Structure 1
Amino acid sequence: MYRIAFFCVLLAVVSGCASEEKPDGLPVLHPAEITVHQGGAPLVGASVQLISTDPTLSRWVSGGSTNENGEAVVMTHGKYVGVPAGKFKVTVNKTQIEGAAAGNDPGSSNEAKMFDLVEAKYRAVTTTPIEVEISAGDNKLDVIEVGAPVKDAAAKL
């Protein structure tokens, strides 16, 4: 996985696509991959966010989306591979839309409904029990388990 990311970055540099300057103050980023399971199985299509416990790093938003194996490569600001070293709280979110908005059928009488598919405590930084530490070098983090599958009604669309 890291080889693919490395070669993509190398290709972008060679082709001149990576000429964009990095933001001022961007700390050194370390490759990180996190795996999320729900009910013992990979959680596909979830959004994972790492929130620094260090206020000086709070401006550097890091996270990713899980693939078919529940793995997410962590990116900072959605385009820089890796995450700064430090301690982080981890939130995991996944939603599902059912009804008219899901199929975009304007003639449907079904009202669109959105559901949260991850237990509430894992969705908020104030309640998540998940904490990780990123160190220099590659970080293949332990599998994170977010409990049994749920389907909680979310805010109306």
Structure 2
Amino acid sequence: MFSNLPRLVLLATVLSVLVGCASEEMPEGLPDLYPVTLTVHQGGAPLAGASVQLVASDPSLSRWVSGGSTDQNGEAVVMTHGKYLGAPAGKFKVTVNKTQTEGNATGNDPGVSSEVKMFDLVEAKYRVVTTTPIEVEITAGENKLDVIEVGSPVKDEAADL
């Protein structure tokens, strides 16, 4: 009768470990998340390598940071806290940022300038939550949002850090 007990204990242990690995514990209070894909264009062409952030209009959602990075097609899959697929339902302002660095930071080669400059490649109004005109609404279910246009290409020298 008890001859299978060690096998049953082993099986129960293995199953509990597998279930624990498969389901990572979610943060307390995390709302339901819904898949969100958005596409960013600049001057009518996909904007690759941009950072996109969704800023909730509802203060109760403000602790759940959602966003992503655009691929070569200008598409971003939105994640919450960088690891949970999707975003909570609600209304959001969208900011888009992309920077470029030029120069040499090493300073070890006397023939090469050690000055490094950073440039913003998206118009200022789209980079800041208080000025961005972009608003989206995330609803229950899958969300494939309309193309977001961020104006003409720019290359503005970034303010000193």
* TM-score (structure 2 length as normaliser): 0.83
Aligned counterparts of 1:33 and 1:63: Cα–Cα separation in 2: 10
Instruction: After TM superposition, list the pairs within 5 Å mapping 1:121-140 onto structure 2.
Output: 121-140=125-144
3-state SS, counterpart of residue 38 of structure 2: strand
Which residue of the partner structure matches residue 109 of structure 1? Answer: 113
Aligned counterparts of 1:42 and 1:57: Cα–Cα separation in 2: 29
Counterpart check, 1:86 vs 2:99: no
| CA shift for structure 1 position 31 | 0.1
The number of residues matched between the two structures is 142
Which residue of the partner structure matches residue 63 of structure 1? Answer: 67
Which residue of the partner structure matches residue 37 of structure 1? Answer: 41
The answer on whether the counterparts of 2:93 and 2:129 sit within 8 Å (CA) in structure 1 is yes
Aligned counterparts of 1:17 and 1:106: Cα–Cα separation in 2: 48
Residue ranges of structure 2 left out of the alignment (5+ in a row): 1-17
Q: 1:47 aligns with which of 51, 54, 72?
A: 51
Which residue of the partner structure matches residue 81 of structure 2? Answer: 77
Instruction: Give the RMSD, CA atoms, in angstroms.
Output: 1.6
Counterpart check, 1:153 vs 2:157: yes
Larger Rg: 2
Provide closer, same or farther for how the CA distance between residues 152 and 50 of structure 1 changes in structure 2, counting only shifts above 3 A: same
Q: Percent identity?
A: 77
Which residue of the partner structure matches residue 123 of structure 2? Answer: 119
3-state SS, counterpart of residue 64 of structure 1: strand
The answer on whether the counterparts of 2:107 and 2:114 sit within 8 Å (CA) in structure 1 is no
